[in-house]
């Protein structure tokens, strides 16, 4: 059980073990779509991309579609999200394409990876018994659009205790999960307007659902943004903060008011897989030294699961 007030802040790297792309991979996939289909000629492909190409051509002028792809190809940004933050004219096209590519990855058979399954590891840390799940002092803040974390937790509880979806949803509602940039939709069928099943099922209706639920932040977060304000409150009250698969982009840190809301005494842990020495020092400095330097410099080879296991004594 997790007793200390613990907040996990998730970036794209946290979803990679479950078949989801990083920001750079997502951009590549979207550009590949343009190359493999007949969008250049404005002719819907008859293959796998028929729905998304028809959707784009039905809702947007061909010139705008081509401008989106051509500008994305020459963009200096590392992700589609970052690109459309500064090109508002492309917001809905970008959201439609992001939704399509993420939906393709929401597959049940990818939720039990042979390696790196940190969802299961965390589940066993919070799961002393069914009745004690709500007593965990855990919150999840995620910049990811996918719902793989929630789907895994719901499936675990249903399978382990013979509970219905509604019962599992109710017991897990005690763990706040905030999607700071929105998500593909709601997993509960009771929300008829925003429901999107965890599957590769794709339709015109679901494209609109996803576009409605994904949030692109063009500038600083408005002061009345409910989700970011709730996240800032959780961070400010936390005893332990974990950054998992997080990219440490300055804009995202600024929007969470980090590091100014990190008073002394908080424990900060962060995965830094693949970061080079200069980047590691930048991360350390961006957190104003609140992260132990040796943890940054010596653990940049660990994925999320390995990192949680190495520092498991802080997950209590």
Query: How would you write the pLDDT of the chain (316 residues) with one tens digit per residue?
Result: 999 999 999 999 999 999 999 999 999 999 988 887 767 666 655 555 568 888 888 899 989 999 999 999 999 999 999 999 999 999 999 999 999 999 999 999 999 999 999 999 999 999 889 999 999 999 999 999 999 999 999 999 999 999 999 999 999 999 999 999 999 999 999 999 999 999 998 888 888 999 999 999 887 788 889 999 999 999 999 999 999 999 999 989 999 999 999 877 889 999 999 999 999 999 999 888 788 888 888 888 999 999 999 999 999 8
DSSP state of 4: S
Query: Which among 268, 273, 264 is positioned nearest to 301, based on CA atoms?
Result: 273
Q: Check if the beta carbon of residue 68 is closer than 8 Å to that of residue 94.
A: yes
Spatial CB neighbours of 139, under 8 Å, sequence gap ≥ 6: 5, 6, 7, 8, 175, 176, 177, 178, 234, 238
Q: What is the C-alpha separation between 187 and 190, in angstroms, rounded?
A: 9
| Buried b or exposed e, range 235-265, using 16+ CB within 10 angstroms | beebebbbbbbbbbbeebbebbebbeebeee
Q: What's the confidence (pLDDT) of residue 174?
A: 95
Q: What is the C-alpha separation between 50 and 38, in angstroms, rounded?
A: 10
2-16 pLDDT, tens digit each: 999 999 999 999 999
Query: Which among 165, 135, 136, 137 is positioned nearest to 153, based on CA atoms?
Result: 165
Tell me how far apart the terminal alpha carbons of the chain are, to the nearest angstrom.
6
Pairing type for strands 6-10 and 177-179 reads unpaired
Q: Which fold has domain 1-18+115-181+216-316?
A: Rossmann fold (3.40.50)
Spatial CB neighbours of 252, under 8 Å, sequence gap ≥ 6: 143, 246
Domain boundaries, the chain: 1-18+115-181+216-316, 23-103
Query: Which among 312, 305, 309, 315 is positioned nearest to 13, based on CA atoms?
Result: 305
Instruction: Give CA 315 to chain center in angstroms.
Output: 21
Q: What radius of gyration, in Å, describes the C-alpha atoms of the chain?
A: 20
Please count the CA atoms within 13 angstroms of the CA of 289 that sit on its side-chain side. Answer: 1
- Classify the C-alpha dihedral 190-194-197-198 as positive or negative: negative
The DSSP line for 28-69 is: HHHHHHHHHSSGGGT---SSTTHHHHHHHHHHS-HHHHHHHH
185: left (phi over 0), alpha (psi -120 to 50) or beta: left
DSSP state of 16: G
Q: What is the C-alpha separation between 250 and 202, in angstroms, rounded?
A: 34
Overall pTM > 0.75: yes
| Cα angle value 114/268/285 (rounded, 5°) | 110
Spatial CB neighbours of 166, under 8 Å, sequence gap ≥ 6: none
Q: What's the confidence (pLDDT) of residue 289?
A: 77
């Amino acid at each position: 059980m997790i007793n200390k007030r613990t907040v996990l802040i998730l970036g794209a790297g946290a979803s990679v073990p479950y078949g989801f792309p990083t920001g750079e991979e997502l951009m590549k996939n979207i550009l590949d779509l343009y190359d493999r289909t007949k969008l250049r000629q404005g002719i819907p492909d008859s293959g796998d991309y028929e729905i998304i190409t028809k959707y784009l051509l039905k809702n947007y002028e061909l010139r705008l579609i081509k401008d989106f792809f051509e500008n994305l190809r020459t963009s200096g940004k590392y992700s589609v999200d970052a690109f459309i933050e500064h090109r508002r004219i492309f917001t809905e096209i970008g959201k439609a394409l992001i939704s399509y590519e993420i939906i393709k990855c929401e597959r049940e058979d990818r939720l039990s990876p042979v390696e790196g399954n940190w969802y299961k590891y965390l589940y066993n840390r919070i799961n002393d018994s069914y009745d004690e799940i709500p007593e965990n002092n855990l919150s999840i803040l995620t910049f990811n659009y996918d719902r793989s974390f929630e789907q895994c937790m719901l499936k675990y509880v249903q399978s382990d205790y013979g509970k219905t979806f509604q019962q599992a949803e109710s017991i897990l509602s005690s763990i706040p999960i905030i999607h700071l940039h929105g998500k593909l939709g709601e997993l509960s069928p009771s929300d008829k307007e925003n429901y999107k099943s965890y599957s590769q099922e794709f339709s015109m209706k679901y494209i609109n659902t996803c576009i409605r639920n994904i949030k692109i932040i063009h500038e600083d977060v408005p002061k009345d943004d409910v989700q970011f304000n709730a996240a800032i409150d959780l961070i400010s009250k936390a005893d332990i903060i974990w950054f998992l698969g997080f990219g440490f982009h300055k804009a995202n840190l600024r929007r969470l008011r980090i590091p100014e809301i990190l008073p002394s005494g908080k424990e900060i842990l962060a995965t830094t897989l693949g970061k080079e020495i200069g980047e590691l020092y930048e991360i350390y400095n961006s957190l104003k030294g609140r992260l132990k330097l040796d943890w940054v410099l010596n653990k940049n080879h660990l994925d999320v699961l390995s990192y949680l296991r190495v520092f498991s004594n802080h997950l209590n």
